[in-house]
Structure 1
């Protein structure tokens, strides 16, 4: 293949358009096609166009309009910019003077990243500068407090985050080495030290993500969170193993320093990588087993909530934390008062478990208060994130206390958002008539339901499906076209079987006679009835 000189104008035009208009997923698939050698050709044409052919499930012809990417075309069925177009662009780059390296640089640039080869060349080009070996500070030792350890970690390893621009791999050996410093400690103090080390490393990751440009932040966040998952899980395990009521004074002091550190992060108004608020609540729930600690922390949080500088604190976190502490103490009304001062979108994750726990404890007066409070807020926003968990709680409550009709009322008032959950619930409960009424209410047809559900109801309660099929037949006839009439005839045959299964053939004959008379002027419909052998 001959090497061409890059048309800088064409290259710049396409790259600018790709940056603005094309999803990263499409770019990655296009790169995969290019790497697999599926591009047969990529040539520069007139008027800032590129032409190419790509072998997919068949051979696709691609035209790239660099001036305006939306006028680009591909013969594949995908609407909009597709992977075949991206593959042609990368192939075009690889045919230039820079070869594959140019294609690789273009690909990584569009993703907002740097290729390994570019980083290696940049590293080799850097002049070697003699570095002085920093003095290593000795660790504070077993007698030090959590604050002293955090200060030492910051002084000794506080710049490690600078190595984490694209990955958190630099933090794994750091975490292992920090944990190793307490390997010979007693278990209670060791847990607290390890939790401190994990929190320090997570804070380093928070600093690293802030150096990422906004274009690629989302993908880095996903990568960072996945890598940090084992650390976070270990943190929660360590918290669950704490024994607050058996803590020595030194351990209590360490725990106080630790939760104060987490509280600072949880109180921040800035966007964060990890859920520090949930970490605080996990620590708070465990340490509240000690009554003296609980009273101290609650008093401190209430004092902060009355502060004049409340605007500088995340008030949502503050009232969520106070609400949870009142919940731990069985003061649910006070808990609800504080939750009412928070943004429901942020605090609902903490509230749903409160209602679920009271259900498990069979404290139904409290459950009713929580569910009433939650319904008011869910009914205002009505989105999948809120309705789904709430309806799940309603279903659970309806199983335990079916005599309380409020659970069904909540679910029906949240229609159509609760349709799927409510439909499944009534099927599970074998409340077939309510299920059929729900389908009619939302305008669903029998064919929209699962075949398994229809078979089950046809066998156990065929009469429940009759109104649904009646409605479906009328809707098909009202379409006033031949296809609609054919569908109506199919539905009528199923309706006939339902009447026979219900042992009510007399009503079926009356219904069919009335239907034929009602629509006697619809000649095409009468013909379809005759073809279907429903009338003679």
Structure 2
């Protein structure tokens, strides 16, 4: 495990200051999008001040970030100077350090955000104050709709302020300042609707969805609003992954039904573009069913009822976005009813529209793994794999579920290979990793040779499993690379060739083929006798006298 190299407060403050000084606002904005889309891969702390990573863009760019001297950072992309890939790596670093990501993303403006007055629940004069007092008294017995009316009044004074992380914090504080006496289940529902109310005010200020006006850069919401939404979604996710104790408070089911109806309506009407961001309310709808409703059900009736509600709601909506959201939700209900054929049919229909978010597909897998339904898990893995059409999505989680399925059901392994092979080239990275994990050395080496990969593309440790278990496979790999280096005809490539020849000598010795090695080396030296620089490097490497 690589060291964490924790940064102290003084170092963090300096980093924020340096980011604000050296990066421009647009670069930070684009870097935040890359960070949010999980394009930062292979993140490694080399030293306390140096980070190495790969960032997925039009190509995979190698990024080196110097925390104590940002101008000395480097990226393989065409941009000269500090770029969005470096910014994304810094935001990923902030997350791993447990620091607020928006402090990096919003570094240039963070200290200049104006203070927003909060809206106290008590002491508000006039008609609005009377409404607040009346509604506050009703909270313990109120419906979800009445809760939302009260919350809307509390955040009304913030309506004309900029939608940024500070706005979200003030809005949450304005509502959370009220602490009615509620059962644990009711308190969780109230807290959820507090966050949903603020989320709606971010996504639909004045009742108009921000996504209706896409910018030329392809962002569905503004930069600072996007930061606020991202943080709010994390709070909602953490909150909803804790169980809802409905068994202790069955009287809260009507509020649950109201919550389902609210999220269903928002999910079916929110915009769905081709960005990598999962639709906000669709995500909350999935969390509600997965973590709060399903664990509290003992029969299928509510799933069947929800199917009817979805069909009825869908008949009143005509946009493609709402149709695909409805199909996805219907698929989930069939899934809960264990009618997998119908669920998969609806899922395929929903996936016909490009841009279906990968998490909406992956979310079908965890409940099956937790329930140890290995046959169903295998079937869903095979069904979902071809639908994961985004090359930028990290498939490690998907591969992990295959490992779990095969470990408990070994006969599923051929289906795993067929599925992963059918997903190429998207699945190339995890396919290669699985080949190594399962000891399929010849297939792995065939892929490297056919792709024109070279030993220099790998760390020595990466090739150690092959060298240990099937060293003979490395012979053509190294021989091919040596010949390529010689064809470059320069001193640097000759040195690289000699280094590989030394590794070849060790392999031949390990395979007890020293005579074959001597024959090759003699023929190689004779064939390239006119290349004086190569001959010199061979002597320096003590390969020839």
What are the equivalent positions in structure 2 for 1:133-212 lying under 5 Å apart?
134-137=128-131, 138-139=134-135, 140-155=138-153, 157-163=155-161, 165-166=163-164, 167=166, 168-178=168-178, 180-181=179-180, 183=181, 185-208=182-205
Asked if 1 retains the 8 angstrom alpha-carbon contact of 2:192 and 2:236, the reply is no
Asked if 2 retains the 8 angstrom alpha-carbon contact of 1:462 and 1:498, the reply is yes
**Which residue of 2 is the match for residue 503 of structure 1?**
512
Asked if 1 retains the 8 angstrom alpha-carbon contact of 2:386 and 2:419, the reply is no
Measure, in 2, the Cα distance between the counterparts of 1:298 and 1:361.
23
Larger Rg: 1
Measure, in 1, the Cα distance between the counterparts of 2:465 and 2:238.
46
**Which residue of 2 is the match for residue 374 of structure 1?**
384
**Which residue of 2 is the match for residue 491 of structure 1?**
500
Residue 523 of structure 1 deviates from its aligned partner by 5.8
Measure, in 1, the Cα distance between the counterparts of 2:29 and 2:348.
43
Asked if 2 retains the 8 angstrom alpha-carbon contact of 1:262 and 1:276, the reply is yes
Measure, in 1, the Cα distance between the counterparts of 2:462 and 2:195.
50
Per-residue CA deviation, residues 278-327 of structure 1 (Å, 9 max, x unaligned), is: 2112223333425333222222113334x264338712221111111111
Residue 475 of structure 1 deviates from its aligned partner by 1.7
Over 3 Å counting, the alpha-carbon distance change for 1:275 and 1:386 in structure 2 is same
Residue 392 of structure 1 deviates from its aligned partner by 4.2
Instruction: Provide the aligned C-alpha RMSD in A.
Output: 4.4
Does residue 311 of the first structure (1) align with residue 311 of the second (2)? Answer: no
Of 280, 283, 290, the match for 2:285? 280
Q: TM-score, normalised by structure 2?
A: 0.65
Over 3 Å counting, the alpha-carbon distance change for 1:58 and 1:198 in structure 2 is closer
Asked if 2 retains the 8 angstrom alpha-carbon contact of 1:426 and 1:434, the reply is yes
**Which residue of 1 is the match for residue 223 of structure 2?**
219
**Which residue of 2 is the match for residue 254 of structure 1?**
255
Alignment coverage as a number of residue pairs: 428
Measure, in 2, the Cα distance between the counterparts of 1:160 and 1:236.
26
Is there any run of 5+ residues in structure 1 with no aligned partner, and where?
1-20, 29-55, 61-77, 84-109, 124-130
Residue 442 of structure 1 deviates from its aligned partner by 2.3
Over 3 Å counting, the alpha-carbon distance change for 1:506 and 1:412 in structure 2 is farther
Of 330, 346, 350, the match for 2:338? 330
Measure, in 2, the Cα distance between the counterparts of 1:141 and 1:389.
42
Over 3 Å counting, the alpha-carbon distance change for 1:511 and 1:327 in structure 2 is same
Q: TM-score, normalised by structure 1?
A: 0.66
Measure, in 2, the Cα distance between the counterparts of 1:365 and 1:132.
63
What are the equivalent positions in structure 2 for 1:55-454 lying under 5 Å apart?
80=80, 115=112, 134-137=128-131, 138-139=134-135, 140-155=138-153, 157-163=155-161, 165-166=163-164, 167=166, 168-178=168-178, 180-181=179-180, 183=181, 185-208=182-205, 218-225=222-229, 227-228=231-232, 231-233=235-237, 235-237=239-241, 240-243=243-246, 248=250, 250-270=251-271, 275-285=280-290, 286-288=292-294, 289=297, 291=299, 292-305=301-314, 307=315, 309-311=317-319, 314-342=322-350, 343=353, 345-359=355-369, 361=371, 363-378=373-388, 381=389, 383-385=391-393, 387-401=395-409, 404-415=413-424, 417-454=426-463
Over 3 Å counting, the alpha-carbon distance change for 1:417 and 1:443 in structure 2 is farther
Per-residue CA deviation, residues 131-157 of structure 1 (Å, 9 max, x unaligned), is: 967441202343332223323443565
Asked if 2 retains the 8 angstrom alpha-carbon contact of 1:391 and 1:411, the reply is no
Measure, in 2, the Cα distance between the counterparts of 1:147 and 1:27.
38
**Which residue of 2 is the match for residue 42 of structure 1?**
none
Asked if 1 retains the 8 angstrom alpha-carbon contact of 2:382 and 2:415, the reply is no
Asked if 1 retains the 8 angstrom alpha-carbon contact of 2:385 and 2:420, the reply is no
Measure, in 1, the Cα distance between the counterparts of 2:454 and 2:254.
65
Does residue 515 of the first structure (1) align with residue 524 of the second (2)? Answer: yes
Asked if 2 retains the 8 angstrom alpha-carbon contact of 1:489 and 1:532, the reply is yes
Deviates more, 1:309-318 or 1:360-369: 360-369
Asked if 2 retains the 8 angstrom alpha-carbon contact of 1:164 and 1:208, the reply is no
Over 3 Å counting, the alpha-carbon distance change for 1:498 and 1:400 in structure 2 is farther
**Which residue of 2 is the match for residue 23 of structure 1?**
26
Is there any run of 5+ residues in structure 2 with no aligned partner, and where?
1-23, 32-67, 73-77, 84-106, 118-124
Measure, in 1, the Cα distance between the counterparts of 2:229 and 2:255.
27
Asked if 1 retains the 8 angstrom alpha-carbon contact of 2:317 and 2:323, the reply is no
Over 3 Å counting, the alpha-carbon distance change for 1:368 and 1:207 in structure 2 is closer
Measure, in 2, the Cα distance between the counterparts of 1:376 and 1:313.
21
Residue 455 of structure 1 deviates from its aligned partner by 4.5
Per-residue CA deviation, residues 28-64 of structure 1 (Å, 9 max, x unaligned), is: 9xxxxxxxxxxxxxxxxxxxxxxxxxxx98999xxxx
Measure, in 2, the Cα distance between the counterparts of 1:433 and 1:416.
19
Measure, in 2, the Cα distance between the counterparts of 1:429 and 1:226.
38
Residue 158 of structure 1 deviates from its aligned partner by 4.1
